[in-house]
Structure 1
């Protein structure tokens, strides 16, 4: 998923002077500029691709590792959660080691973590590798934008970001289709192995071109206590959400302990960060109306969007008998309009009210999810593809305006901290949204299954007659006839449960529209210029 207009989202500790920008260097030119832009954007593409490429492979990964699909979904959620935690550290590491060294190191770390994912023989090892992958991926998005902006002439910064956004947005198109094809044709391990040559090329070219353009470094204190509390409450909450369904929620002492740990550590985290001179995240930013409304809106919306993005291919593979590659091709059109409209948004936003564009995006999402809430078991491929294709339109109108709202009015030194904190909340909400969506789908499926089978017993003459008719028509045994009935009910219940999730998602997008309008109008395109602030 592309994350436009966050070029300095280094998420630096809130040091009053702000993070040092790149030294005064002349812009790159000609072939060197083109190669540098390609290499830096390729690193972002690798990161974005790895977020979406695993979605369609979850059923296959789960089957090969001998775990349930619900447990397989942790491959996605632990990556998102660990990535969210690492984002606030980007600024500190940038100032400690330098922008270029950190960026190249993050790419190489991502390559190593990808190799570990591919060779993982069990789910625990795969989850460990995904956590590592999420941690090292934290600096890639914000630093790639910052490096690109330092390479292009200031007058063409919007062009640089548009090229970056288009490259990053290709991920939702290529990821599902490529992941499905690799999984069906070779092995799920190769969805991670393909990062190795891509990452080595991107790291090598980036180092070759930028090693003489390193940013200044300085030693800064790091908020160890705040970081520890952050990791504790994020990890506790995520594990609670992922394991709750398997452990009967609050009937389990483990879930209760995790919940208590999350609440207590979060409370201490709030108090500590609000009193610490150099907090790991600057929570005081939430006192600003634009930051508060924009961050909550983009985070809730992203959580709903990403949760549904994970469920859709799972449902197609489990209940519609789609192959991984077919499920990937159905979800691939998501990025088509997003790529086409990205340059248009760059021209329209500076002359428009970002709140209006963001509102139209939320209305568009609501319409798409309402269309999906009318799915039926016999649905054809076109009616699966159409909403996905149309969803690319609100996607193109989603990130840029809301990011502009969040950053509008921020003084230059606060832009990195603001972008970093909003990124942290959004990415973490993506992990939480995935867990909640999976749990809600399971619960609604069970509820509909119970309702559909209320009268399914031997004492009901209608049910008995139906079983007899199945035996007669298909020439099968009573046990087979009952199994066919159970399969039909399971499929229908899962469809009805998923429709409930789609309908609820549409309602949520409508309900969060007022959050956009508690913000103040942003001048000059809703703070678009903030994207280049240092």
Structure 2
């Protein structure tokens, strides 16, 4: 535990490291088109820049506790910052797509390690009674990072070049490494002669890596219509089953699944998965809707997310204090799911004429909902763990959030595509030569084009093209509305689950107390 100036320097360093790692999960999304053109690659291939980072993140996160204990937390943390920073520089220097993909994977290895190690360091910096406050502070990075990524990415791509989305990490990373070297307490790696669990590391890398590729690329290649998706799904299932069996039987596991005996951690992990699903899906769907349907630029879209993000950042420390004062986290979680459902419901009622002012309130609800979920879930996950188990519990909880985000983006993308096919069929059924409204609109297009000098044949061709564009736009508008409604329902359905959880925990409290007494 730290006090005074040293304590708050560590806090600032930790939050900065968390933010730059999570910024890089979304900052690249808005520059894919630019990268594709500059590197001479297809959009499909360029998407591997995003996929490789996500794969590395999810593989390394559950290993962070083991590696930090083996190497020493301070050394591992500083090494991860430096690896992330060096890989960021090499991403900017890349001259072809596959160089960039390789360095993004390395960047994800360094960045993924920062997330859980940062949380563990932050919890050790605060005394146990202030861990609610620590959770509130840590959540700032989780909320701010993904939300400001598109803003920064849009601004940089519009005003500089795509390489600068990586170069901006260099001075921040070097400063974070320097402050960590000066202010973090020295730690030693384990010197007990324990062997490294190479089999567990291999199974984890294969299982999670294959699953992540399936989730990231499934929609692009029509899921199980592609042979490699089927093969990777089978490989992932086998590897993950073997991983759990091996880690529960080996003496020195790379992932200590035994901490999941804590009912609180297990329940929190499930809720955190749902949180990741909704959080990352909303950040994925809203920019697509705003840019493709409403016509906003990447920078405009990012700035619309900022008020909700700032509101969430403002209340997070207060939520931590409320938890410290004894407020049950479940009540905040219920409110968080309710606010997230309100966001999805409001968004599902927008249309092509909706202005930016309409989005302000629902996006505020989104930000508040994220804060009300992240802060208590982060605190609840490790609340009943022994100090030595907190790093492993934090790592597993963070992995569930990242996995929830991967599942969320993959499934919501598939859902939008499926709904687009259904909605187009429904719309086209009404756009026929016998429909008076269609004929009136078509003739209006033709008359307007002929008035501007087009021949009748040319005007008719352009009018049919304009009608098709209208159908396409309306199709995707309805599909995005369906996606927002799905997110609203998913969050609403979680509320009864949390209520049941409260009842179960109350019922289990008395027997647990009796066991403790009998042990004494």
Q: Which residue of 466, 470, 488 corresponds with 1:488?
A: 470
Q: Which residue of 79, 83, 86 corresponds with 2:53?
A: 79
Q: Which residue of 137, 140, 150 corresponds with 2:114?
A: 140
Q: Determine if the alignment matches structure 1 residue 214 to structure 2 residue 187.
A: yes
Check the 8 A contact 2:82/2:173 in 1, yes or no. Answer: yes
Deviation at 1:123, TM superposition (A): 4.2
Residue aligning to 2:422: 447
Q: Structure 1 432/193 Cα, relative in aligned 2: closer, same or farther at 3 Å? A: same
Q: Structure 1 119/483 Cα, relative in aligned 2: closer, same or farther at 3 Å? A: farther
Deviation at 1:195, TM superposition (A): 0.1
Name the SS of the counterpart of 2:221 in structure 1: coil
Choose 148-157 or 235-244, whichever is displaced more. Answer: 148-157
CA distance in structure 2 between the partners assigned to 1:68 and 1:322 by the alignment: 24
Which structure has greater helix proportion?
Answer: 2
Check the 8 A contact 1:172/1:332 in 2, yes or no. Answer: no
Deviation at 1:368, TM superposition (A): 1.0
CA distance in structure 2 between the partners assigned to 1:265 and 1:155 by the alignment: 40
Q: Structure 1 129/227 Cα, relative in aligned 2: closer, same or farther at 3 Å? A: same
Deviation at 1:334, TM superposition (A): 2.9
Residue aligning to 2:157: 183
Q: Structure 1 403/159 Cα, relative in aligned 2: closer, same or farther at 3 Å? A: closer
Q: Determine if the alignment matches structure 1 residue 281 to structure 2 residue 250.
A: no
Deviation at 1:106, TM superposition (A): 0.6
Deviation at 1:63, TM superposition (A): 5.2
Choose 148-157 or 414-423, whichever is displaced more. Answer: 148-157
CA distance in structure 2 between the partners assigned to 1:322 and 1:484 by the alignment: 20
The one of the two structures with greater contact order (alpha-carbon pairs below 8 A, sep at least 6) is 1
CA distance in structure 2 between the partners assigned to 1:220 and 1:45 by the alignment: 34
CA distance in structure 2 between the partners assigned to 1:397 and 1:199 by the alignment: 29
Name the SS of the counterpart of 2:424 in structure 1: helix
CA distance in structure 1 between the partners assigned to 2:449 and 2:402 by the alignment: 51
Q: Which residue of 427, 431, 444 corresponds with 1:469?
A: 444
Deviation at 1:35, TM superposition (A): 4.0
Q: Which residue of 475, 492, 510 corresponds with 1:510?
A: 492
Check the 8 A contact 1:294/1:402 in 2, yes or no. Answer: yes
Name the SS of the counterpart of 2:178 in structure 1: helix
Deviation at 1:186, TM superposition (A): 1.2
Q: Structure 1 259/169 Cα, relative in aligned 2: closer, same or farther at 3 Å? A: closer
Check the 8 A contact 1:80/1:428 in 2, yes or no. Answer: no
Residue aligning to 1:334: 308
Q: Which residue of 355, 361, 366 corresponds with 1:386?
A: 361
CA distance in structure 2 between the partners assigned to 1:152 and 1:466 by the alignment: 66
Q: Which residue of 431, 438, 441 corresponds with 2:413?
A: 438
CA distance in structure 2 between the partners assigned to 1:28 and 1:327 by the alignment: 40
Check the 8 A contact 1:337/1:390 in 2, yes or no. Answer: no
- TM-score (ref. length: structure 2): 0.86
Check the 8 A contact 2:11/2:122 in 1, yes or no. Answer: yes
- Superposed counterparts of 1:63-462, under 5 Å: 64-65=38-39, 74-148=48-122, 162-166=136-140, 169-172=143-146, 174-210=148-184, 213-218=186-191, 219-350=193-324, 351-457=326-432
Check the 8 A contact 1:53/1:179 in 2, yes or no. Answer: yes
- Which sections of structure 2, spanning at least 5 residues, go unmatched? 510-520
Name the SS of the counterpart of 2:194 in structure 1: coil
Check the 8 A contact 1:184/1:323 in 2, yes or no. Answer: no
Deviation at 1:414, TM superposition (A): 2.7
CA distance in structure 2 between the partners assigned to 1:283 and 1:158 by the alignment: 24
Check the 8 A contact 1:59/1:314 in 2, yes or no. Answer: no
Name the SS of the counterpart of 2:384 in structure 1: coil
Q: Structure 1 441/168 Cα, relative in aligned 2: closer, same or farther at 3 Å? A: closer
Name the SS of the counterpart of 1:138 in structure 2: helix
Deviation at 1:339, TM superposition (A): 1.2
Residue aligning to 1:527: none
> CA-atom RMSD, angstroms?
2.8
Deviation at 1:376, TM superposition (A): 0.7
CA distance in structure 2 between the partners assigned to 1:72 and 1:377 by the alignment: 30
- TM-score (ref. length: structure 1): 0.84
